[in-house]
Structure 1
């Protein structure tokens, strides 16, 4: 794409990195190299002929948006109205000015510009001032201006009816401020942007504005913009600091402009020191500022001050939510009794109309930008007491734990748990169907909420809500034991265990220290794994829960498998004995089968093949003989039997064990870690049989699983595929 004068097109964003007085758009030090005389009005200035504000010279990653504006203009059968939407500081003004420059050739009869935010004064600007200035620039002498507003509106429509005119409107807060400025000509267009909560109304009117949502810049283009605004950041020495500055700004152009301003004004300013300052979320918004001038928090403040009291309350309340998305039920929980008779839905609508939140599929919402979340939290800290903030978080976490408890039961089945699932789910509707379909649905939901689960444990622990922190950590293991997000599991388990200790939740602490030892061992953090499982063993000595004790011995055996396999045999035997002594029906029988299975695996590792085969076949029969066969564990046993035959060199005999295991694991969903193990072993057997292509297919799937879960075998699998000529 080229400009009218033949210059190669580049996307740009305006940026006076020395003054942020305009807050939403920053003008000044960066200028366009071209100048085009047009019909234009800026604010209340009475100048009859001046130039449209220049398209900013530094402009990145908006080609798609410009092309979309071009397509909308091309397809329009009448006057085209485009409403550019997005959070304050995302670059709406820069895009519209660039579009006015890019498509100037389409509008030979003039380009009009009006910025409501520059009119000044306490009184809200009305469209009459814009109409008056437009008529003056369109050639109406002042003494011939119609004497009434209705007359001026009619004259404006008459003057634009036969031509191709472009109008750019910024800073509007009300639909009428835009609606009355639409030119009448069928080849004309109006491009508008603003932060008023009511502007969305323009898009839902018959024949109304076409919405053009604007997203933050991806890291690559944010880096490009920051380098362009502050060329000294192009040095290799500043590379790590540059990446951290980009991450702190989260793709918001105004934030990048302000950061560049701090560095550009003071040549002695250190990029690394500024990156360190911005790494603190609690002070980030005040640190992102133009030297001695407006902060990014002040930029968001204009949108915040326009909210009603209820919407402002909800904005602050939702800032405490640790997850990325929320719905009306969560919003109502955040407000508690303050939700009022109208509920939270209209307040969420107001936040969305104000470009602070965005509505997604399924009636879910999220904040438009990560820095807006920080602003909401900062305002809550300034305006609300600690007790109020903690109460909001408590209510939201309580709501989260209801579907989390249902998901735990759907995935893990009825089992003994330190969390009272019946109390959490009493009176609530189970969102998951029964059987395998319910497990798949629950795992899919847990997977979609992965980030929320860990963030919820962090937030609860930080707020001193220890009981909720450890309960969420325990319930989250339903995800981690099936899809092994090891880093998440380790952090959640360690935080939850300490929270349980603070809360006096002994059984929860034992469960969490026991299970997290496995994640730590898989990550190679053996010292921590040992510390956690030995602490769990120590605590288990004071409880009467035989199945929980048995679980501790089982996981202790799994740790010992890695450091002292002979001792692991005794741990598994103790686990089996405890399960056999427990009076808990299926759970006790399943626990005993687990102990036999792990003992068989340990025997195989010690080279005691016949004993191992007997134990594994025994375990397979136990799992399949349960009331409601445990197909997942049966698949793991089949994988171990296949490994045993593979080790003996009987590759053909091993194949059906691996194939059956993979089919069962795929059919039930989740359990991807065990599926990866089976696929690696199957690839070994296929390779030995000369079936390299089939082997590579299974290795690639195993690599995909480990990449998704952050497993430690990613590099080993990549190397193996490279060495064997497969695709990594």
Structure 2
């Protein structure tokens, strides 16, 4: 059977690195440095147990951050009532070999009758699908001379089981691809154990059999332990002088031990190599896999290629296609879209299973998948660039983005209501199933989904813009504001908003450009990037009067006022008044509800500005007017009503009446919590409530609200978190 590249399939595949990758290295066997281990490291067990000796490969000299996994192996051995089989899982280079050999050394006293070792990946010639070679080797070293070996496979298997019965033997198996390669090597002694791992298709079938294997998945090393491993493998790295470069090297390797070993090898063998220069080289994602290599030429990409070449043609295509997805996770629907299939065709499901079995993907709850490691994503992208045309790659990304924008449009509508949008939500959602439930929990469910896709949103805008899919880029950026206006992930908002605005300009859509330039001014101002905020607003104002969209022009004046609020409040008042006038002129039109809401927004922000100018009587009247307007809409805007109540509380607090301010703050916070999301506004209201409570001498209660506000700002990455930390410290809280 042939693979997608014409090579033999699975058991017919030899263990070589083809092409011009340089000399081969058994890159999956890592124990602190890169070297190979022969499968003929075995144990001789005679009748006298004290004569037992082992040639098990030595445990790695450098071993970092697997104490938890070693402890878990120990617990599994303790709980076993019969032969314990542990299946170590993870992608190539994650450190499975090092862990198993360390465990064999750590738990050697438990197995006084000896330890057996076999590595299928070291077999010469075509790989064998059955374990006969391992059984033969074990029997020879268990004392059976060659001329007395049973003549059939069944006979050799029976003899192996007989000779391990009643003994405490440990067997370590590496490089297995098929369950049978492990199953037949399980010793029969009740105090025995077998530890196995494989880099090809997963051996998950062993886990679902009666009394089957116990899975032990491995995670990448933490950044701290990645740095520790680099320093241990390359002693010339100076903790202080090379500290920044060391951090960047560890981050580029993303905790993959094989990558760390290769990087340390480059630095250790070439005394002229500069850690900072290598870190610069690894910072480029397009060059990273080629730069992570062993001196002599073997790259990390070549190591991953051992798994890739075993895939079927369909799975290999899906692997390359999924590398284009900018998000961390995907489902069968996105996989089908990547291949150009309908979501319900089912063609992608077996291919996802194959990639999962090959330890390239991992399945999560809810039928979602992700790549097992960030460097595997880069490998998938690199292979797509090598094997697929730009048109094919762009088509895959377009189809996946189109599918992703459907729930994104439903989420926008669930969170923001029937606002005026430059994105045609009806066109995006036509004929599609709404994934969010009707009723009171709808907004919460939509915000929860948006939060789960937080990492995908700016990455999708970035990927679409880079691929020239400008319409998808700006539309995704517009829809993402449904999250950012409620939970202010400022850095994400600024990045996606700026990229989206430029994409809208490239796409020739002034409505999208105006919306994005006005909204992105908010995170830019909050981040202190006032010059950028001003440029975005000015560009939006240039466009606003020329497109004939009254409500969008009014929105531009509103956001202009919010920017001016920070630099020139008198001018801000005029901007809000102009926004109200424009909205009022459109209240009799077909978009009358949005016009009324826009007018209420202008009145609200004008009231806040008046409060800032000390004109409290006028401010109170404007805020009360705004509150009535929001609650009087056909669908009352509870979120904005809560913000108005908090502003009225601020006004009373400023006038020296904290007792009167309290119910405004508590009502606002309750409404915001009840709706879900709106955490930025909740944090602001809690800070003000803390001020009122402090003024009333209730400092303990005030600190409780400050801690919640701090947690919200930390989650959103806002600079306000530092101020709250200082405030709590000054108040006696570390």
Q: Give the TM interval when normalised to the shorter protein.
A: over 0.9
- 1:643 — aligned with what? 650
Q: What are the Cα deviations for residues 613-637 of structure 1, in whole angstroms up to 9, with x where unaligned?
A: 1111111111111112111111111
Query: d(CA) in 2 for partners of 1:29 and 1:547?
Result: 65
Tell me: CA distance 1:564–1:91, structure 2 relative to 1, closer, same or farther (3 Å): same
Cα contact 2:713–2:721 (8 A) shared by 1: yes
How far 1:210 moved relative to its partner? 1.1
1:389 aligns with 2:403: no
Aligned ranges 1:82-161 → 2 under 5 Å: 82-124=86-128, 126-161=130-165
Aligned ranges 1:52-71 → 2 under 5 Å: 52-71=56-75
Q: Which runs of 5+ in 1 are unaligned?
A: 1-17, 32-36, 42-47
Tell me: CA distance 1:225–1:198, structure 2 relative to 1, closer, same or farther (3 Å): closer
Query: d(CA) in 2 for partners of 1:19 and 1:231?
Result: 26
* Structure 2 residue corresponding to 1:625, chosen from 626, 629, 632: 632
- 2:603 — aligned with what? 596
How far 1:337 moved relative to its partner? 4.0
- 2:274 — aligned with what? 270
- 2:527 — aligned with what? 523
Aligned ranges 1:677-688 → 2 under 5 Å: 677-688=684-695
- 1:171 — aligned with what? 175
Query: d(CA) in 2 for partners of 1:605 and 1:576?
Result: 19
How far 1:269 moved relative to its partner? 1.1
Local SS of the residue matching 1:231: coil
How far 1:21 moved relative to its partner? 1.2
Aligned ranges 1:307-318 → 2 under 5 Å: 307-318=311-322
- 2:285 — aligned with what? 281
- 1:228 — aligned with what? 232
1:213 aligns with 2:217: yes
* Structure 1 residue corresponding to 2:295, chosen from 291, 296, 317: 291
Q: What are the Cα deviations for residues 346-373 of structure 1, in whole angstroms up to 9, with x where unaligned?
A: 1100111110000001111100000000
1:581 aligns with 2:585: yes
Q: What are the Cα deviations for residues 676-698 of structure 1, in whole angstroms up to 9, with x where unaligned?
A: 11111111111111111111111
Q: What are the Cα deviations for residues 319-353 of structure 1, in whole angstroms up to 9, with x where unaligned?
A: 00000001111100001149996510111001111
1:495 aligns with 2:529: no
Cα contact 1:40–1:52 (8 A) shared by 2: no
Cα contact 2:652–2:661 (8 A) shared by 1: yes
1:336 aligns with 2:340: yes
Tell me: CA distance 1:328–1:573, structure 2 relative to 1, closer, same or farther (3 Å): same
Cα contact 1:19–1:290 (8 A) shared by 2: no
Q: What are the Cα deviations for residues 376-415 of structure 1, in whole angstroms up to 9, with x where unaligned?
A: 0000000000000000000000000000000000000012
Aligned ranges 1:121-520 → 2 under 5 Å: 121-124=125-128, 126-337=130-341, 343-520=347-524
Query: d(CA) in 2 for partners of 1:509 and 1:30?
Result: 53
- 1:613 — aligned with what? 620
- 2:732 — aligned with what? 725
Q: What are the Cα deviations for residues 649-698 of structure 1, in whole angstroms up to 9, with x where unaligned?
A: 11111111111111111111111111111111111111111111111111
Q: What are the Cα deviations for residues 425-467 of structure 1, in whole angstroms up to 9, with x where unaligned?
A: 0111111123431011001100110100111000000000000
Cα contact 2:44–2:143 (8 A) shared by 1: no
Cα contact 2:32–2:61 (8 A) shared by 1: no
| TM value normalised by structure 1 | 0.94
Tell me: CA distance 1:294–1:505, structure 2 relative to 1, closer, same or farther (3 Å): same
How far 1:75 moved relative to its partner? 1.2
Query: d(CA) in 1 for partners of 2:172 and 2:179?
Result: 14
Local SS of the residue matching 1:140: coil
CA RMSD across the alignment:
1.8
Query: d(CA) in 2 for partners of 1:339 and 1:383?
Result: 25
Tell me: CA distance 1:28–1:73, structure 2 relative to 1, closer, same or farther (3 Å): closer
Cα contact 1:466–1:503 (8 A) shared by 2: yes
Query: d(CA) in 1 for partners of 2:339 and 2:253?
Result: 29
Local SS of the residue matching 1:496: helix
- 1:665 — aligned with what? 672
Query: d(CA) in 1 for partners of 2:498 and 2:504?
Result: 10
How far 1:198 moved relative to its partner? 4.9
How far 1:282 moved relative to its partner? 0.3
Q: What are the Cα deviations for residues 72-115 of structure 1, in whole angstroms up to 9, with x where unaligned?
A: 11111111111110000000011111111111111111111111
Query: d(CA) in 1 for partners of 2:521 and 2:344?
Result: 47
Local SS of the residue matching 1:629: coil
1:634 aligns with 2:632: no
How far 1:39 moved relative to its partner? 1.0
Local SS of the residue matching 2:86: strand
Query: d(CA) in 1 for partners of 2:110 and 2:232?
Result: 30
Cα contact 1:30–1:56 (8 A) shared by 2: no
Query: d(CA) in 2 for partners of 1:597 and 1:242?
Result: 51
How far 1:502 moved relative to its partner? 0.5
| TM value normalised by structure 2 | 0.93
Q: What are the Cα deviations for residues 473-498 of structure 1, in whole angstroms up to 9, with x where unaligned?
A: 00000000111111111111110010
Tell me: CA distance 1:72–1:186, structure 2 relative to 1, closer, same or farther (3 Å): same
Local SS of the residue matching 1:551: helix
Local SS of the residue matching 1:186: coil
Tell me: CA distance 1:28–1:118, structure 2 relative to 1, closer, same or farther (3 Å): farther
Aligned residues between the structures: 699
How far 1:645 moved relative to its partner? 1.1
Cα contact 2:89–2:202 (8 A) shared by 1: no
Query: d(CA) in 1 for partners of 2:306 and 2:532?
Result: 49
